[in-house]
Structure 1
Amino acid sequence: MSLKENSHTSSSWFLIVNPNSGVRNFSKAWNRIQQILKHKEIDFSFSLTQHSKHEISLVQESLKRGFRKIISVGGDGTLHHVVNGIMTQRYVKTSEIKLGVIPMGTGNDWIKTYQIPNSIEKSIDVLVEDHTEYQDIGLINHTNNQKEYYINVAGIGYDGYVVNKLNSLKKFGPIAYLLSGLYGLLFYKKTSYQIKINDQLIEEKCLMVLFGLCQYSGGGMQMTQDPDPKDGLLDITIAKNFSFFDLVFNLPKLYNGQIVNHKKVINYKATSLEIQENKEQHSYIEADGELLGKGSLNVSIIPNAIQIIIPATQ
């Protein structure tokens, strides 16, 4: 861990930096980030992650030391773990924490909802402007009462299967999402679920169930209907018994957002969600592109949980 010592005031930034993010030349990108921050006379400290989920403890330690502006430097996975660090710490109310992003990942899906530029220089400009809004955070309670927070989109079924496969394809960059998706189309077997939404019980054989807060996932796909990250509601998408040809024919609609209008897709808004899977099948669960495990789950929402730094035009 590398820390730059300075006066730890609430106006200082603390950067959580993932050297294994999707950027091709990390050292060059990281040096550029530091140069820009110093040129703009921004007071900052930083730490590099050294292992999986290291972000969680690094965030907690920085908050303990008095930092209140946390910057995630990496991709959606880095952001996911930073959020979990914020939501599980006990030093300060989460709503008093400001969270920003300098994107360096493979997908960078969360930033698309807020039109944060996928550029080091321009994303730092957004951080300097320091315009904030509150965002809701989702909470998943899953296998053996494990809890996981998420900031973008989560799901069970096909998308979890795709994320599991994606780990071996990330070396291909952004196209890895498409390759993993095509693999899933060929080999994923649909699962029967009991789904409870707003006290309504649905039994359905599904390709997947998504429960999102924001608009984009899976490398730019749009599978949530009119999401509002600050309305206190989960945007739930149930993709029913799609065939291989259904998915191939409708592939463009996954990226232009029209898939939510398909006759085999049902959309809901709710404050909570429960999913019980068929005991003979165990589906992968993913959140923000991170694999959580397999099994049944329940999801709730924490309104106005964190202040996020986004462009002032939002």
Structure 2
Amino acid sequence: MSHLDESSVTSSYFLIVNPSSGGGHFDKKWMKIQQLLNVYQIDYSFSFSEYSKHEIQLVDNAIKQGFRKIISVGGDGTLHYVVNGIMQQRYTKTSNIKVGVIPIGTGNDWIKTYTIPNDIESAIKIIVQDQTILQDIGMMTLSDNSTYYFNNLAGIGYDGYVVHKLDTLKKLGSISYILSGLYGLLFYRKPQFRIHINEKVIETTCLMTLFGICKYSGGGMQMTKNADPQDGLLDITLAKDFKFFDLVFNLKKLYTGAIVHHKKVENYKATQLEIIDIHTKKPFIEADGELIGTGSVKVSIQPKAIHFIIKPVKG
């Protein structure tokens, strides 16, 4: 790690801004954001992301320049790549970085765990109050030895297939998650996995295996049982031989969290997880709603890795 001279570190914020987030009206939102940052006397610099994963390079550059406070302006995908930029950089410890979020995306699932409002001014007020949590970050290694990080939830199987299909439907807004999900149930073919959790080996046909740090995904669904972003453990959900009508009839339970008690669902906690695609059907792998690859995957956790600015807890 090539540490910078800490005297060059600035107290200003650096905004990573995704102008394609949220499906339109960006100019109006960006004007409002700038006005409010000035009203609340927040000193900042910024860069726009110009292509997929550009946020990773922008974060690396910002940290190299001495910024330690990053604001992600976009949705879950923008935050995902901001986090990957922080975890991959080599200038300072990741726990020295503080991240705030101004949500202008489609799903905005990560903010739901911390009850951060999906509202520009409310989010900026929370950043001003500057209360943080030191959150765990998940790490995934794919078959080709590429490494990815996630700050919310990730998974392999059906949910990856849904994310794969979601790209063509995102312009429809939050309903796109449901439409993509129903399409997936009709056409997705469940792979067979060999899953290593703790000392246990499970071989099963599986709709999907989810592993989470936080609580919400897929536009507000709750599919992990006891997600705790600070316990140093992955919260793992195995949805086994679900069929189309299983999910249709249990749709409400996906949003209330009751789905984790279904007889075809198993829940685990672990620091490490390995999922092997037995018949090489190359199931899709997603992280924080972003498609990252196919095949088998190893997952581990980086405890208390990054400071996130969250809504102050009363009391």
Residue 24 of structure 1 and its aligned partner are, at CA, apart by 2.4
TM-superposition CA deviations, 1:25-64 (whole Å, max 9, x none): 0000001000000111110000001111000010010001
- Counterpart CA distance in 1 for 2:31 and 2:307 is 27
SS of alignment partner, residue 11 of structure 1 = strand
Q: What amino acid maps onto 1:169 in structure 2?
A: L
Which residue in 2 is equivalent to 1:167? Answer: 167
CA contact (8 A) 2:170 2:176 kept: yes
Q: What amino acid maps onto 1:89 in structure 2?
A: Q
Q: Structure 2: any 5+ residue segments left out of the alignment? A: 1-7
CA contact (8 A) 2:23 2:171 kept: no
Q: Between 29-38 and 271-280, report the one with greater CA deviation.
A: 271-280
Q: What amino acid maps onto 2:149 in structure 1?
A: Y
TM-superposition CA deviations, 1:105-162 (whole Å, max 9, x none): 0000000000011000000000000001100000000031010000000000000000
Which residue in 2 is equivalent to 1:254? Answer: 254
SS of alignment partner, residue 47 of structure 1 = strand
Which residue in 1 is equivalent to 2:105? Answer: 105
CA contact (8 A) 1:143 1:293 kept: no
SS of alignment partner, residue 229 of structure 1 = coil
- Counterpart CA distance in 2 for 1:268 and 1:290 is 23
Q: TM-score, normalised by structure 2?
A: 0.96
Alignment of 1:90-129 (within 5 A): 90-129=90-129
TM-superposition CA deviations, 1:229-256 (whole Å, max 9, x none): 0000000000000111111111110011
TM-superposition CA deviations, 1:87-116 (whole Å, max 9, x none): 000011000100110001000000000001
TM-superposition CA deviations, 1:204-246 (whole Å, max 9, x none): 1100000001000000000000110000000000000011111
Q: Structure 1: any 5+ residue segments left out of the alignment? A: 1-7
Runs of 4+ in 1 over 6 A off after TM superposition: none
Which residue in 2 is equivalent to 1:13? Answer: 13
- Counterpart CA distance in 1 for 2:195 and 2:280 is 17
SS of alignment partner, residue 22 of structure 1 = helix
CA contact (8 A) 2:237 2:266 kept: yes
Q: TM-score, normalised by structure 1?
A: 0.96
SS of alignment partner, residue 134 of structure 1 = strand
SS of alignment partner, residue 292 of structure 2 = strand
Which residue in 1 is equivalent to 2:3? Answer: none
SS of alignment partner, residue 154 of structure 2 = strand
Q: What amino acid maps onto 1:176 in structure 2?
A: S
Corresponding pairs, count: 308
- Counterpart CA distance in 2 for 1:203 and 1:33 is 50
- Counterpart CA distance in 2 for 1:143 and 1:215 is 27
Q: What is the Cα-based RMSD across aligned positions, in Å?
A: 1.2
Which residue in 2 is equivalent to 1:131? Answer: 131
SS of alignment partner, residue 11 of structure 2 = coil
CA contact (8 A) 1:212 1:224 kept: yes
SS of alignment partner, residue 225 of structure 1 = coil
Which residue in 2 is equivalent to 1:59? Answer: 59
SS of alignment partner, residue 21 of structure 2 = coil
Residue 23 of structure 1 and its aligned partner are, at CA, apart by 4.4
Which residue in 1 is equivalent to 2:272? Answer: 272
SS of alignment partner, residue 253 of structure 1 = helix
**Identity score, percent:** 64
CA contact (8 A) 2:240 2:265 kept: yes
Residue 9 of structure 1 and its aligned partner are, at CA, apart by 4.8
Residue 313 of structure 1 and its aligned partner are, at CA, apart by 1.0
> Is the aligned partner of 1:209 residue 2:209?
yes
- Counterpart CA distance in 2 for 1:286 and 1:49 is 21
Which residue in 2 is equivalent to 1:184? Answer: 184
Which residue in 2 is equivalent to 1:89? Answer: 89
Q: What amino acid maps onto 1:229 in structure 2?
A: P
